[in-house]
Structure 1
Amino acid sequence: MMTAQPLQSDDFDSPWKNILEWYFEEFVEFFMAEAYADIDWRQPVEFLDKELQQVVRDAEFGRRHVDKLAKVWRKSGQEQWVLVHIEVQGQYEAGFEERMYTYNYRLYDRYQHKVASFAVLSDDRAAWMPAEFGYDLWGCRVHFEFPTAKLATYTEQWAMLEASRNPFAVVVMAHLKTQETQHDSQERRFWKFYLIRHLYERGYQRQDILNLFHFIDWLMYLPPNLEQQLRQEVYEMEAQKLKPYITSFERMAMEEGREEGREEGRRLEASRLLQRILTHRFGELSKEMQAQLAQLTIL
């Protein structure tokens, strides 16, 4: 049994933000059925990044992990704001409920808009399900409730996830299998290929396959040797299906190669420039010095 690299957290934020923005309607449909039925999806969704950043900047609780603030329209014609918070670190956090409340009231206080707050938790603590915040003092009572979805609870709904055409079913499956295979790289390779193949079998469109593949590929890290094996399996599968969608394996490698080539070229040019300057100032350089300068290009 090989040990897989633990879940990466340095840039965990970004892929979730992308997938949430690409499939916001599907996210609401999957996790927020009541809101989905009340929103007029014929109207465009507007993401209020600047408004959210202003509130984050003003917050006093340190770094935040709020992903998206979106403006939608209800079927009644009313404008409505939706705050979606994904706690991607996957760890218990004391004061989480207070933070949800703080964001909600700060948004309302600053912009005078009613805000529906929603949380998605990626940790595996079954007993931790924050859903409310409040206090009571001398007859003054504050009570704030918010819906929470816990990804770990979908483990027992695997059949439903497989049958669903909603892209967030794939997102949840990828998350669950990433957690389950943290210490077994071979098992992770199996499930990563399984989910990639699932994208084709469910009949997703090409761009959806690429988007979801990007998320799966980023989330389910594999050691290089197993990644190479997976890559070959994907090539063979695509050849059989005559749908070479995930050539991003090759494209990404080529892009990385081109970028490395550009970087190498810049370093080489810098080395040559330095050599010309030194030659002009000190005369002909020794072979030893030239070799040292050449070595700089591969540092």
Structure 2
Amino acid sequence: MKLLRYGSPGHEKPGLLDAQGHIRDLSNHVDDIAGDVLHPESLARLKALDAASLPRVEGNPRIGACVGGTRKFICIGLNYFDHAAETGATVPPEPIIFMKATSAITGPNDAVEIPRGSFKTDWEVELGVVIGKTAKYVSEADAMNHVAGYCVINDVSERAFQAERQGQWTKGKSADTFGPTGPWLVTTDEIPDPQSLRMWLEVNGHRYQNGSTITMVYRVPHLVSYLSRFMSLQPGDIISTGTPPGVGLGQKPPVYLKPGDIMTLGIEGLGQQRQHVVQG
């Protein structure tokens, strides 16, 4: 099942994508794709609906972030063997955790703003994991029972803010529009193996990232279990699980985003994003 949110920013409605690629409205069944709606029992009720009987949404509405009400946007750093190598970093002995402000979350095709004073804004295609049931001190064996599904994330990053301005990475990761999310929340039953998904990102038609989740260091069950030792994970929380090689920082010489650029990116089975880069 592919769940989504459509409409103007702050006024998105819940929907699903039917087998023919049409948006169907879920407003008569749920208020939003958020919170308890992501619980396994709620998802089962939505899956049991006859999609063809739901109102079809006409035209091409804006697609919002596929999850609403996210309270925690948790990111994992240097979580791909080949990305760690391109940055000259060693693979960390435990997952590197940092937070991205939830105010960075935006729709998958909304414009990305380069912050004022930025000269090193970069891209990162990532697999997003959306929590569906509260997880606290869960085992790896039980971890996937707490996952609602997956989505595409562009972990947009300002490298100078991240690494050259002291402190932790958060300030380089949290600018408004730095978290395009979606287009769909794809439930786990449609993605039997999240560790074997092709992923890619292009800027102005040039493919920079062309990787796979197969090179992920710490995999999804481990990440959910690991994070749940340090904080409870709530329905709607997002874990952005790291990026494969090909980021702008890793080019020789480095390449960074500028106003007018177009980013397109996607993950196998999870859809695609397209963002126009503008000056903030």
Q: Given the two structures, how large is their TM-score scaled by the length of structure 2?
A: 0.24
Query: Higher helix share goes to which structure?
Result: 1
Looking at both structures, which has the greater relative contact order when contacts are Cα pairs under 8 Å and sequence separation is at least 6? 2
Bigger CA radius of gyration: 1
Q: Given the two structures, how large is their TM-score scaled by the length of structure 1?
A: 0.23
Query: Higher strand share goes to which structure?
Result: 2
